Amino acid sequence: MTDNDIVDIADTVDTVNMDIVTDGEGPSAQELLVQEGDIAGDYLERLLDIADVDGDIDMDVEGTRAVVAIVGDGLDALVGPHGQTLEALQELTRLAVVQQTGVRSRLMLDIGGYRARRKVELTEIGTRAAHRVLENDEPVKLAPMTPFERKVVHDAVAAVDGVHSESEGVEPERRVVVLPGA
């Protein structure tokens, strides 16, 4: 990737069409999330073209956030070790959205199903930790995790009666601690 390619990505983001027809009251929250997904999809398509990587872009809205997924084979380089490249691409994509909308984006990016697979793993980790705390009545500290990963673990722990979880530490060493009691 050259400096010219990076400039091309920025130019593409600048020219994304954001027109939404409204009844004078402004776009709905759902329309704004769809708009975020469209901007992100255009940005990521241009990035894939520059990197010469094959992948399709899927966009959806889940709750209060836009979800964009790059699907296809051979996307491991875009995920990187432990999802680090994916996290970086998600932040760059969020910045592209903010540049166009002026509003902070909570957009979630998945590549090659990595986040979906990781969510299943993290749910199992949280559930096992909760049961270990129930058996031993002692706190369990988990490895440092990203905000996405901690949220999944907190949700898994919350589904088990008799335990609760908290986050401790400072990024990037922030971790979940599972504790006895509700």
Domains contained in the chain, CATH given? 3-112 (3.30.300.20), 116-180 (3.30.1370.50)
> What digits encode the pLDDT tens for the residues 86-104?
999 999 999 999 999 999 9
163-166 LR contacts (CB < 8 Å, sep 24+): 163/130, 163/133, 163/134, 165/126, 165/130
* Mean pLDDT for the stretch of residues 67-93: 95
Degrees, nearest 5: CA angle 17-10-92: 100
> Is the model's pTM score more than 0.95?
no
Residue with tokens 């051979």: 74
> What digits encode the pLDDT tens for the residues 116-161?
999 999 999 999 999 999 999 999 999 999 998 999 999 999 999 9
Q: Taking a C-beta distance cutoff of 8 angstroms, is the pair 177, 170 a contact?
A: no
